[in-house]
């Protein structure tokens, strides 16, 4: 067996090993929450020089609306300075509020996370910036304080050589994962959730950059080992190991190209970009539970520098709707919350549904999908519970028309394949079954009432085995990133309708496959999102994200 084949097998074996199965077989976990070992949700580097960033609260006026952000309308690029740099991080990765109930308090962030555990960390490679750094540096973002820590000061000539491969007026933002933060609660299924969270963060950064008139593009061509070295994560081992997932290019003056940026890191350049590190990462837990399979799948799916997929050439975009019909994007991203309960009666109109789903199709909203330049591989199955003007049932959003024949063949239990009433011609939504799907949604999403009590719930399915065969085991990660990115946009679309959403990582994999008639592994479910009107607990207080005077 070749090394590539062996790694693909490891990824598929992990996926099948961590499936939940009806009626009550769940992936291995501790089975309870060991509060004594709960990981610190905030990473910091002791001894690193720290720089406070200015707070950039939304103005709610003269800022791009959500309708403008999701459209193909150009947004004039903002000048890059410490304030706009701060705004990018503030609207994507920062704390959005604190919650308090009795003596307990916890932080919420702009980027959603499974269990609010936040395994994702962010690092920035940046040149001299007035008010921030006088020379090139590797910075670590600290959301707890909305600050950055300088881990490395870089030689200007080496940094200039590094930047020669990148477009001008751009900087690099890297995302990494600390799997232990999720494993503490979710055990062996944790790596799935870490990759969802990378997708959440990528889409959150894309939206924050879009508001500034900037653009996010994925950087490819380097291996995971090279990314680890570049972000000062090499040599990390043990239960709290942290490893790089993806590098993103933040373009201040967006070019016309949409394809990924290819970055070569020869040994001499990489060594020059990796001077000694200032600062020691904090310890997150006093003790740990070992889950060996997590290290196995993380190693098997590490980026090998190969292409991440076939590029998507079918992005035409849509014209902007009236900006007056939509709130400020910055307000939406900072008020986004994960619902824990729905009222069981509120829904949405079919026109609202169609507008929401169009955001998920890169061909229609290309400005939101610049970090995902490859052909879409994830297709949401929508359980239509309470949609005014539509009968209840199941429908599928085909985000890549090239997959339609395979999807038609895979849905062996589909009773129909037709556009629902009033569906725009450009929206590739097809009804599969007409029936009350509330109980099916509840049961298949781990008996959670929230999957039945809202307007809808989704089961995101992906072309699976074929993608791994074509692009190797790392494709397992990319599919989960894409699912997480879809989930983040559903959060924002729900907020724009004054509804709420919640990501659902707990579902009975094979049960969903059986409902849809899937056989084999050509398509598999990866993630879910429910949308409805949240019921809020009056005992929980909301407190400001940051308490400091500027």
Task: Tell me how far CA of residue 174 lies from CA of 106, 243, 246, in angstroms.
Answer: 25, 10, 6
- Residue 462 belongs to a domain with what CATH number? 3.40.109.10
Give the pLDDT of residue 254.
77
Distance CA 459, CA 395 (A): 10
Range of the domain at 66: 50-300
d(CA 215, CA 253): 8
- Residue 317's nearest CA partner among 78, 40, 74 is 74
pLDDT value, residue 324: 52
In this structure, are 122 and 195 located in the same domain?
yes
Residue 29 lies in a domain: no
pLDDT digits (tens, 9 = 90+) for 169-191: 899 999 999 999 999 999 999 99
The pLDDT value given to residue 446: 97
**Do 179 and 255 have their domain in common?**
yes
Q: How far apart are CA 550 and CA 547, in angstroms?
A: 10
Same domain, 295 and 354: no
Following CA atoms 95, 288, 526, 384 in sequence, which dihedral angle do they give, to the nearest 10 degrees?
-60
Per-residue pLDDT 10s for the chain (550 aa) are 689 999 999 999 999 999 999 999 999 999 999 999 999 999 999 999 999 999 998 886 789 999 999 998 999 999 999 999 999 999 999 999 999 999 999 999 999 999 999 999 999 999 999 889 999 999 999 999 999 999 999 999 999 999 999 998 899 999 999 999 999 999 999 999 999 999 999 999 999 999 999 999 999 999 999 999 999 999 888 999 999 999 999 999 877 667 889 999 999 999 999 999 999 999 999 999 999 999 999 999 999 999 888 888 777 766 545 555 689 999 999 999 999 999 999 999 999 999 999 999 999 999 999 999 999 999 999 999 999 999 999 999 999 999 999 999 999 999 999 999 999 999 999 999 999 999 999 999 999 999 999 999 999 999 999 999 999 999 999 999 999 999 999 999 999 999 999 999 999 999 999 999 998 889 999 999 999 999 988 899 999 999 876 5
Looking at residue 262, the DSSP 8-state letter turns out to be E
Where helices occur in 164-314 by DSSP H, the ranges are 179-186, 190-211, 224-230, 267-272, 292-300
What pLDDT sits at residue 360? 97
Determine, yes or no, domain membership for 45: no
Q: Establish if 161 belongs to a structural domain.
A: yes
- Residues 355, 488: one domain? yes
Q: Is 54 exposed, middle or buried (0-12, 13-18, 19+ CB in 10 A)?
A: middle
Q: Are residues 114 and 201 in the same domain?
A: yes
Coil/strand/helix, residue 159: helix
Q: Residue 387 CB: number of other CB atoms within 10 A?
A: 22
Peptide bond preceding 23 in cis form (omega within 30 of 0): yes
Q: Are strands 387-388 and 348-349 parallel, antiparallel or unpaired?
A: parallel
Distance CA 399, CA 363 (A): 8
Q: Does residue 82 lie within any of the structural domains?
A: yes
Q: For residue 310, what pLDDT is reported?
A: 86
Token pair recorded at residue 463: 């072309």
Residue 39 lies in a domain: no
Neighbour count for residue 250 (Cβ, 10 Å): 23
pLDDT, tens digit, 9 for 90 and up, residues 46-83: 999 999 999 998 886 789 999 999 998 999 999 999 99
DSSP letters, 491-540, are HHHHHHTT-EEEEE---BHHHHHHHHT--TTSEEEEEEEEEEPBPP-TT-
* Residues 344, 227 within the same domain: no
**Same structural domain for residues 364 and 236?**
no
Whether residue 58 sits in one domain with residue 190:
yes
Same-domain pairing of 278 and 397: no
Residue with tokens 């905030």: 42
17 domain residue, yes or no? no
Question: Distance between CA atoms of 11 and 8, rounded to whole angstroms?
Answer: 5
Tell me if 62 is assigned to some domain.
yes
- Judgement on whether residues 468 and 374 belong to the same structural domain of the protein: yes
Q: Is residue 8 part of a domain?
A: no
Which of 300, 322, 348 is the last residue before a domain boundary? 300
Kindly state whether residues 296 and 346 are assigned to the same domain. Answer: no
Whether 55 and 163 share a structural domain? yes
- Residue 258 pLDDT: 74
Q: What is the total count of domains within the chain?
A: 2
* Boundary-marking domain end, from 271, 300, 329: 300
């Amino acid at each position: 067996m070749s090394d590539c084949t062996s790694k693909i097998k490891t990824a598929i074996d992990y996926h099948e090993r961590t499936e939940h199965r009806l009626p009550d077989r769940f992936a291995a976990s501790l089975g309870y929450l060991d509060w004594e070992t709960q990981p610190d949700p905030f990473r910091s580097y002791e001894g690193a020089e720290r720089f406070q960033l200015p707070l950039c609260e939304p103005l709610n006026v003269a800022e791009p609306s959500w309708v403008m952000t999701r459209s193909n309308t150009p947004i004039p690029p903002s000048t890059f300075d410490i304030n706009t740099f701060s705004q990018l991080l503030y609207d994507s990765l920062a704390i959005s509020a604190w919650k308090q109930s009795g003596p307990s308090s916890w932080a919420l962030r702009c980027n959603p996370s499974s269990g609010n555990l936040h395994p994702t960390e962010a690092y920035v490679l940046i040149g001299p910036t007035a008010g921030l750094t006088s020379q090139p540096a590797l910075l670590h973002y600290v959301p707890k304080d909305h600050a950055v820590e300088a881990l490395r000061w870089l030689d200007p000539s080496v940094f200039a050589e590094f930047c020669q491969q990148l477009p001008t007026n751009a900087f690099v933002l890297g995302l990494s994962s600390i799997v232990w933060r999720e494993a503490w609660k979710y055990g062996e299924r944790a790596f799935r959730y870490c990759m969802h969270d990378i997708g959440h963060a990528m889409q959150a950064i894309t939206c924050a950059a879009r508001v500034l008139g900037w653009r996010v593009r994925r950087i490819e061509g380097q291996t995971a080992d090279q990314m680890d070295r570049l972000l000062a994560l090499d040599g990390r081992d043990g239960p709290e190991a942290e490893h790089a997932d993806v590098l993103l290019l933040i373009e201040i003056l967006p070019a016309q190209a949409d394809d990924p940026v290819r970055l070569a890191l020869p040994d001499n350049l990489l060594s020059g970009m990796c001077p000694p590190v200032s600062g020691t990462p904090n310890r997150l837990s006093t003790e740990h539970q070992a889950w060996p399979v997590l290290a196995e799948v993380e190693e098997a799916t590490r980026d090998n520098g190969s292409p991440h997929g076939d590029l998507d050439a079918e992005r035409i975009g849509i014209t902007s709707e009236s900006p007056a019909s939509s709130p400020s994007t910055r307000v939406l991203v900072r008020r986004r919350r994960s619902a824990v309960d729905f009222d069981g009666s509120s829904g949405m109109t079919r026109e609202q549904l169609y507008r929401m789903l169009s955001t998920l199709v890169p061909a229609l909203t290309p400005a939101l999908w610049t970090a995902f330049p490859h052909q879409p591989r994830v297709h949401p199955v929508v359980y239509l519970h309470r949609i005014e003007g539509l009968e209840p049932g199941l429908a599928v959003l085909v985000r890549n028309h090239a997959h339609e024949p395979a999807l038609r063949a895979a849905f062996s239990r589909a009773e129909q394949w037709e556009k629902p009433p009033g569906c725009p011609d450009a929206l590739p939504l097809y009804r599969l079954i007409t029936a009350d799907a509330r109980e099916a949604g509840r049961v298949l999403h781990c008996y959670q009432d929230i999957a039945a009590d809202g307007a809808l719930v989704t089961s995101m399915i992906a072309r699976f085995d074929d993608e791994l065969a074509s692009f190797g085991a790392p494709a397992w990660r990319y599919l989960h990133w894409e699912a997480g990115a879809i989930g983040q946009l559903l959060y924002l679309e729900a907020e724009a309708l004054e509804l709420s959403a919640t990501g659902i990582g707990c579902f009975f994999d094979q049960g969903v496959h059986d409902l849809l008639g899937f056989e084999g592994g050509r398509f598999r479910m990866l993630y879910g999102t429910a949308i409805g009107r949240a019921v809020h607990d009056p005992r929980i207080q909301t407190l400001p994200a940051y308490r400091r005077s500027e």
